[in-house]
Structure 1
Amino acid sequence: MFPETFMADAASLTLSNTPVPAAQVVAGSPFTGSAVLGDWGGKELGVWQMTPGEMTDVEADELCVILSGSGMVHRQIGGETVQQPLVPGAVFALLDGEETLWVVTETVRKVYLA
C-alpha cells in the first residue's frame, strides 16, 4: 500500500528499454521498458512503454491508461477483432489470457494496474 504522500511523475520517469523477444516481434525492432511503482490493493501499479514496431503478447488482467504515443492494439473479443486506439487519455482493460497484437507508430507509455 502507498503512503498518503505517494506521488510519481509517470510521464517523465526514466525506463530502461530491452529488445522484445524475437518470438514476439512481428515488424520492426521494438523495445519495451517498465517500472513498478508499488502495490495498490494487492495489484501491481507500474509504468510500461513500447517503442515503434509490432509485437504479439498474451495479457494478464490489467487496467491501462495511455499517457503518450500512438498506435493500435488488435484484440480478439467475442470472436471478433477489435482495434483499441493507443492515444493519450485512452483507458481500457486487458483480460487474462487475451492474445494481442501491439502496433506502435510513436513510443507508447502507459500506467497499468495488474
Structure 2
Amino acid sequence: MTGMAAGAAVVAASLVVPDEVVPADRVRAGAPRTGYVELDRADGRTIGVWEHTPGVSTDVEADEVFVVVAGAGLLEFTEPDLPPVELRPGVIVRLTDGMHTVWTVRETLRKVYIAP
C-alpha cells in the first residue's frame, strides 16, 4: 500500500507486512525477520509500518520518529552510548542518522514510523 488516501483508515496490527530474513552479519540471536509497508511518501517524508519478529539484531539507523503499536522488546544504543528503551505499545522513540542499535525483540514488534 502506497499513497494512503486522505480520510482512509487502516488498523496497523492487521496490515500484512512482507518480511525477509535479517542478514546473518546483523543477527545476534534467533532468526529474526523484518519488513515494512510504506503508507505514504510526500513532501520529503515517508510514513510506514515496520515489523521485527522475535530475536536480536543490530542496525545503523536513519532519521525517524516511531511509535510502537504492538509487541515487546528492548532497544539499546551502542553509538552513541545512551540508556536503553523498553519497547511496548505507546512508546515513542526518536532515532537519528548513524545511531548504532541492538534490537532485542521478545514479542513481534510493530511500529508506525515517520522518516524524512
Q: Same fold (TM over 0.5)?
A: yes
| Kept in 2: contact 1:2–1:40 (CA 8 A) | no
Superposed CA deviations along residues 22-81 of structure 1, whole A, max 9, x for unmatched, are: 01001110001110001253211000000000000000000010001001000146x534
Contact preservation (8 Å) 1:56, 1:102? yes
1:54 is matched by which residue type in structure 2?
V
Equivalent residue number for residue 5 of structure 1: 7
TM, length-normalised to structure 1: 0.91
Distance 1:48 1:85, change over 3 A: same
| Percent of aligned positions that are identical | 42
Whole-angstrom distance in 2 between the partners of 1:4 and 1:18: 30
Q: Mind listing any 5+ residue stretches in structure 1 that lack a counterpart? A: none
Q: Provide the C-alpha distance between the structure 2 equivalents of 1:73 and 1:58, rounded to a whole number of angstroms.
A: 12
1:54 paired with 2:72, answer no
Amino acid at match of 1:32: T
Distance change in 2, residues 1:6/1:41 (3 Å) = farther
Question: Secondary structure of the residue that 1:103 maps to in structure 2?
Answer: strand
The two structures, once aligned, show a CA RMSD in angstroms of: 1.6
Report the Cα offset of residue 4 of structure 1.
2.9
Identify unmatched segments of 5+ residues in structure 2: none
User: How far off its partner does 1:14 sit?
Assistant: 0.6
Report 1:24-63 matches (<5 A).
Answer: 24-63=26-65
Q: Deviation of residue 16 (structure 1)?
A: 1.4
Worse-superposed segment, 3-12 or 68-77: 3-12
Native 8 Å contact 1:2 1:39 kept in 2: no
Alpha-carbon shift at residue 92 of structure 1 (Å) = 1.0
Q: 1:3 Cα deviation (Å)?
A: 4.2
Aligned partner (choices 9, 15, 18) of residue 16 of structure 1: 18
Supply the distance in 2 between the matched residues of 1:99 and 1:17 (Cα, whole angstroms): 22
Q: How many residues align?
A: 113
Which residue type is aligned with residue 40 of structure 2?
G
2:33–2:52 CA contact under 8 A, matched in 1: yes
Does 1:80 find its partner at 2:77?
Answer: no
Q: Is this contact kept in 2: 1:48–1:111, CA < 8 A?
A: yes
